[in-house]
């Protein structure tokens, strides 16, 4: 696995260590409308699946995007993929919002679920890089066209943003 995605996997695994299926349902406070630990991981995995779908569509066309990033997108790309700053306060798009929990799962199973998704996007990123090279090749819905390296960095920084939320839940509940 690419070192950036491996780092993300390691951080996910560390944040979920030793959590049972009851603990993964915890939110920042008992009356919180915010996501549970499990929902946070589901959100991350939905973003990986959405990325995979976008890459498969672009690979089937056999050509990188011709889109050029706007100035605003370039600034967003710089802050996120270069400086590692993820903006807060923006809600998740509906297509990557986690569903209500039907079956609670433990941290170990969430780590495995994440690993499966990360392995798939790692493979598809490598395939796209071999076909398209190192330039911008596939557009992100907000950040515009990104290179494979930028896509990897996006997922790492986005993941870290949400892993901070998991750490906060663990601290609030003394886990």
Which domains does the chain possess?
Answer: 3-172 (1.20.120)
Instruction: Please give the average per-residue pLDDT across 140-167, as a whole number.
Output: 97
pLDDT at 100: 87
Over 90: is that where the pLDDT of 33 sits? no
Instruction: Please give the average per-residue pLDDT across 52-60, as a whole number.
Output: 96
Give burial (CB, 10 Å; 0-12/13-18/19+) of 146.
Answer: buried
pLDDT at 4: 98
CA distance 131 to 38: 35
What dihedral do alpha carbons 112, 175, 46, 138 form, nearest 10°? -90
pLDDT tens by residue, 73-120: 999 999 999 999 998 878 888 899 998 888 999 999 999 999 999 999
- Six token digits for residue 71: 């100035």
Average pLDDT, the chain: 95
Q: How distant is the alpha carbon of residue 62 from its chain centre?
A: 25
The reported pTM is 0.95
pLDDT at 31: 66
């Amino acid at each position: 696995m690419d070192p950036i995605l491996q780092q993300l996997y390691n951080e996910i695994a560390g944040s979920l260590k030793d959590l049972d299926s009851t603990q993964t349902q915890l939110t920042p406070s008992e009356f919180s409308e915010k996501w549970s630990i499990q929902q946070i991981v589901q959100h991350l995995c939905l973003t990986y699946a959405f990325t995979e779908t976008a890459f498969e569509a672009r690979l089937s066309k056999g050509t990188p995007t011709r889109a050029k990033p706007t100035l605003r997108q370039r600034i967003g790309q710089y802050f996120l993929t270069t400086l590692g700053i993820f903006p807060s306060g923006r809600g998740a798009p509906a297509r990557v919002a986690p569903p209500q929990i039907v079956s609670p799962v433990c941290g170990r199973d969430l780590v495995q679920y994440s690993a499966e998704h990360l392995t798939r996007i790692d493979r598809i990123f490598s395939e796209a890089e071999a076909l398209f090279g190192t330039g911008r090749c596939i557009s992100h819905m907000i950040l515009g066209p990104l290179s494979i390296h930028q896509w990897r960095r996006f997922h790492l920084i986005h993941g870290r943003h949400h892993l901070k939320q998991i750490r906060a839940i663990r601290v609030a509940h003394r886990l």
